[in-house]
Amino acid sequence: MDLFNLTAHELTAKIKNKEVTSKEVTENVFKRIEAVEPKVKAYVTLLKDKALAQAAEVDAKIAAGKEAGLLAGIPIAIKDNMNIKGTKCTCSSKILNNFISPYNATIIDLLSAEGAVFTGKTNMDEFAMGSSTETSFFGKTFNPWNLQAIPGGSSGGSAATMAADEAIMALGSDTGGSIRQPASCCGIVGLKPTYGRVSRFGLVAFASSLDQIGPLTKDVTDAALLMNVIAKYDPKDSTSANILAPDYLKSLQNNVKGMKIGIPKEYFVEGMDKEVEKSVREAIKLLEKLGAQIIEISLPNTEYCLAVYYILAPSEASANLARYDGVKYGYRTPDANDLLEQYEKTRGEGFGPEVKRRIMLGTYALSSGYYDAYYLKAQKVRTMIKNDFEEAFKKVDVIITPTAPSAAFKIGEKMDDPMQMYLSDIFTISVNLAGIPAMSLPCGFTSQKMPIGLQVMAKHFNEEAIFRAAYTYEQNTNWHKEKPRL
C-alpha cells in the first residue's frame, strides 16, 4: 500500500492505531523520493539514515504504550535555511555550502518533541531571495505539474515535495511570499503566520522585520495540525510574541455563515491572468453561496508595496548578510593578499547574482545621503500600508485575493529581468509589510493544467479566521485532491 500520498492527519491515526509503523511510512516516503526526485530535485540534502532512526524511536515508544507526540512518525521536509544540528544548512548558497549546523532551530526542537521525522533539507532560492528557486547554487527545482515550469520560490523545494508526495508535510519561510507563491504554483496549502507567531531562532535571517516560518501541506487540516506544534512563544527569539496560540484544529469548521469577506479592488487590475481571475472570482462566489457576506474594500496604497518591499528587504538583508565574511564559517576565497581582499573576494565569489544585487540595493538605500530618500521613506509608506489593513479589518474578517498574478511560469523566463521577477510577488508582499497572516490554497487550474492559488488574509493573530474560511472552501471543492502525474 502506498502511504506517501496521504496527509499527516490521516497517517497519525494509522500510526497510533498500529495499522502501520512509522518505519513503514518513512521507508515508503523514501521509496517515493528515490522514484521521483531525479525529475523534481526538491531536496538539497536527504537524511534517510537519521529519519529511519527517528522512525524507529517513535515505533519503540508506541510499542511500549508511551505518548509519541502529535506528529509521531510523520516525515517532514525542512527548507534549507533552518538549522538541524549536525546537518548541512546551506541556504542554497555557495558561501554556506559546507556549513554544518551546531544547534537546532527552535521549530526543529518542537517538531522532534512531537515525534516528527526529518526527510531532508529542501532547495530554495539562494538566501530565500527569489520567486522561482532558480537562483540556488545547487541547481533548479522543477514543478511536479510541469517539469518545464518553476515551482515558485523561494520555498520551491518544500512546495515541490508536497505536490510530488516526497514528504508528508513541509516547512518553509516567507519574507515576501516565499511560502504562499510556491504553494500556489504547486497546488498545495501554504500559510505565512502572523509576524511573531512562530519562533525564528535558528532560521537564517534574510529580512528580520519580515521573515516568518510556516507550514506547506497537502491540505488545510495539516496546516492547522502543524501550527499547533510550531506556534509557541520562544524566549530565544526577541520578536516572538508571548501570546498563547489557540488549538487551530478547532477553527476547522465547514461554515462561513455570517463571515465577512473583503475583496480589495486594487488586487483585481489589468495585467492579471484571465484564468487566474476567473478561478478566484468563482471561489469568492462559492463562499458567498455558502453564506459569507462579500464586501468590496479598498487598500489604497497597494501599488506602493513592491517599491517599499524592495527597499526594506534588501536593506535588512545587506545588514544580515554582512556576517558572511569567510572568517568564522562558510566559504573563504583561496586567493587573497590581505584581510580586506579576503572579505571582498569571499563575498564576490560566494554569493550569486541575485544576492549580490540585493546587497548592493540595500547598501545603497542605507548609505549616507540616500537613507532618508529610500529607507526612511519606505518605512513611512509601510505605516500607510499597515494602516490600510487595520482600516479594512474593522469591516471584514478575512480578505481574499489571488496569491499570484499568474500560474507558474517557464524556467528561465524571468531570470534576466529582476523587475519582472519581483512582480511575481505583487499580491503577497503587502502581508509581510503589515505583519499579518495569510494562506494560499488551491482554487483551480489553468487550461494548461497548472495550479492556481487563492490567498486568504486576516488581521494579526487571527489565523483562526483564515482556517475557517479556507477549510470551508476546501471541504466544498476537490482541487486539493488532484495530484500531478510524475
Partner 1 sequence: MKITKKEVEYVARLARLALSEAEKEKMTAQLDSILQYMDKLNSLDTKNVEPTSHVLPLNNVWREDKVQPSLSREEMLANAPEQAEGFYKVKKVIE
Active site amino acids: 79, 154, 178
| Residue 144 or 330 with smaller CB distance to partner 1 | 330
For partner 1, the closer CB: 53 or 243: 243
Pick the stretch among 174-182, 261-269, 373-381, 441-449 that binds partner 1 (CB under 8 A): 373-381
Q: How many residues bind partner 1 (CB under 8 A)?
A: 71
DSSP per-residue string spanning 309-333: HHHHHHHHHHHHGGG-SSSSSS---
Distance of closest approach, residue 90 Cβ to partner 1, in angstroms: 12
- If one asks whether residue 270 binds partner 1 (CB under 8 A), the answer comes out as no
d(CA 175, CA 320): 14
Q: What part of residues 331-350 is at the interface with partner 1 (CB under 8 A)? A: 331-332, 336-345, 347-349
Considering only 2, 16, 376, 391, the residue that binds partner 1 (CB under 8 A) is 376
Cβ distance 148 to 367 under 8 Å? Answer: no
Instruction: Count other C-beta atoms under 10 Å from residue 370's C-beta.
Output: 15
- Nearer to partner 1 (CB atom), residue 182 or residue 435: 435
Figure out which of the listed residues 32, 140, 200, 460 binds partner 1, where binding follows CB under 8 A: 460
**How far separated are the first and last CA of the chain, in Å rounded?**
18
Q: Of 262-270, 403-411, 414-422, 448-456, which part binds partner 1 (CB under 8 A)?
A: 414-422
Helix (H) or strand (E) holding 340: helix 339-350
User: Of the two residues 98 and 448, which places its CB atom closer to partner 1 in the complex?
Assistant: 98
- Vertex 153: Cα angle to 265 and 80 (nearest 5): 140
Which parts of 388-407 interact with partner 1 (CB under 8 A)? Answer: none
Scanning the structure block, which residue is given the C-alpha cell 534576466?
416
Helix (H) or strand (E) holding 170: strand 169-174
Work out which of 357, 445, 475, 476 binds partner 1, going by CB under 8 A: 357
Closest to partner 1 by CB, 170 or 179: 179
Question: Shortest distance, CB of residue 324 to partner 1, whole angstroms?
Answer: 10
Residues 69-128 that bind partner 1 (CB under 8 A): 98-100, 102-103
In degrees, rounded to 5, the angle at the alpha carbon of residue 424 between the alpha carbons of residues 420 and 425 is 125
- Residue 282 in contact with partner 1, rule: CB under 8 A: no
| Residue 268 buriedness (CB in 10 A; 0-12 / 13-18 / 19+) | middle
Give the nearer residue to partner 1 in terms of CB position, either 50 or 377: 377
Is residue 356 part of the contact set for partner 1 (CB under 8 A)?
yes
- What is the per-residue burial (b if ≥16 Cβ within 10 Å, else e) of 173-202? bbbbbbbbbbbbbbbbbbbbbbbbbbbbbb
Q: Does 377 bind partner 1 (CB under 8 A)?
A: yes
CA atoms lying within 13 Å on the CB side of residue 6: 19
Segment interacting with partner 1, rule: CB under 8 A, options 8-16, 57-65, 280-288, 356-364: 356-364
Which residues, 229 to 248, sit near partner 1 by CB under 8 A? 235, 238-239, 241
CA atoms within 13 A on the CB side of 459: 14
Grid cell in block for residue 376: 526612511
CB of 269 to partner 1, least distance (A): 15
Site for partner 1 in 199-228 (CB under 8 A): 209
- The nearest distance, CB 57 to partner 1, in angstroms, is 24
Binding residues among 134-193 for partner 1 as defined by CB under 8 A: none
Q: How far apart are CA 80 and CA 126, in angstroms?
A: 10
Minimum CB distance to partner 1 smaller for 60 or for 376: 376
Smallest separation, CB 103 to partner 1 (Å)? 7
Q: What is the DSSP string of 183-223?
A: HHHHTSEEEEPPTTSS--TTBPPS-TTT-EEEEEESSHHHH
Q: According to the binding rule CB under 8 A, does residue 257 interact with partner 1? A: no
Residue 149 CB, shortest distance to partner 1, in Å, is: 24
Show the site string, 285-324: x = touches partner 1 by CB under 8 A, - = not: ----------------x-xx-xxx-xx------x---x--
**Of the candidates 196, 215, 402, 484, which one interacts with partner 1 according to CB under 8 A?**
196
Could you give the CA distance from residue 202 to residue 351 in angstroms, rounded to a whole number? 21
Residue in this structure with the C-alpha cell 496604497, named with its chain if needed:
301
Given candidates 84, 381, 392, 438, which one binds partner 1 under the rule CB under 8 A? 381
| Contacting range for partner 1; rule: CB under 8 A; set: 180-188, 216-224, 394-402, 428-436 | 428-436
Strand partners, 190: 216, 440
- Cα 88 from Cα 91, distance rounded (Å): 9
Classified as helix, coil or strand, 403 is coil
